[in-house]
Amino acid sequence: MTFYNEKVSILTDSYQNVYSFQWRNKTISTYFFNILSGEMEKKTIVEDSLEEYDIAIGKNDYIYLVYQNLDRHLVLVTMFGDYIDMVILTEEPVSNVYDLSILLDREEIHIFYNVLLNEAEKLYRLYHHHYDDEIWVTNVVEDTKIQQVLNPFCLSLQDYSLFVFYYDYAEEGEEIFLKKYDIVEKKWLEKQRITRGFNSKLYIDILLEENILNIVYSQNFDGNLSIVYEKYNIVGADTVLLKREILSNEENCSYPTIIKYVDKLWVAWIEYDAVLSRYSVDEGEIWSSIYLWERSKNIDVVRYKYVDNSIKESNKKLNYSFGSIYPDISFIGFGLLEDVQEVPIKKKYRKIPRF
- Are the beta carbons of 241 and 269 closer than 8 angstroms? no
Longest Cα–Cα distance of the chain, Å, equals 75
CA distances for 345 relative to 15, 95, 101, 151, 205, angstroms: 43, 45, 36, 28, 23
- Return d(Cα 152, Cα 136) in angstroms, integer: 24
Over residues 313-351, the pLDDT tens digits come to 678 899 999 999 877 889 999 999 999 999 999 866 445
pLDDT at residue 172, as a whole number = 79
What DSSP designation does 251 have? B
pLDDT at residue 198, as a whole number = 77
- Return d(Cα 212, Cα 156) in angstroms, integer: 12
pLDDT at residue 314, as a whole number = 72
Q: What is the 3-state secondary structure (H, E, C) of 76-114?
A: EEEEECCEEEEEECCCCCCCCEEEEEEEEECCEEEEEEE
- Return d(Cα 316, Cα 296) in angstroms, integer: 21
- Return d(Cα 323, Cα 333) in angstroms, integer: 8
- Are the beta carbons of 221 and 279 closer than 8 angstroms? no
Instruction: Give the residue among 65, 29, 72, 74 at the shortest CA–CA distance from 47.
Output: 29
Over residues 117-144, the pLDDT tens digits come to 999 999 999 999 999 989 999 999 999 9
Give the torsion sign (CA, 199, 278, 273, 24): negative
Q: Which amino acid is at 49?
A: S
Instruction: Give the residue among 225, 230, 227 at the shortest CA–CA distance from 240.
Output: 230
For the chain, residues with pLDDT lower than 70 are 311-313, 347-355
- Calculate the average pLDDT of the chain: 94
Instruction: Give the residue among 259, 120, 98 at the shortest CA–CA distance from 166.
Output: 98
pLDDT at residue 350, as a whole number = 44
Instruction: Give the residue among 158, 225, 207, 170 at the shortest CA–CA distance from 216.
Output: 207
Q: Model-level pTM?
A: 0.94
pLDDT at residue 348, as a whole number = 64
Q: Angle at CA 212, nearest 5°, toward 343 and 131?
A: 115
Burial class (CB in 10 A: 0-12, 13-18, 19+), 149: exposed
- Return d(Cα 11, Cα 19) in angstroms, integer: 5
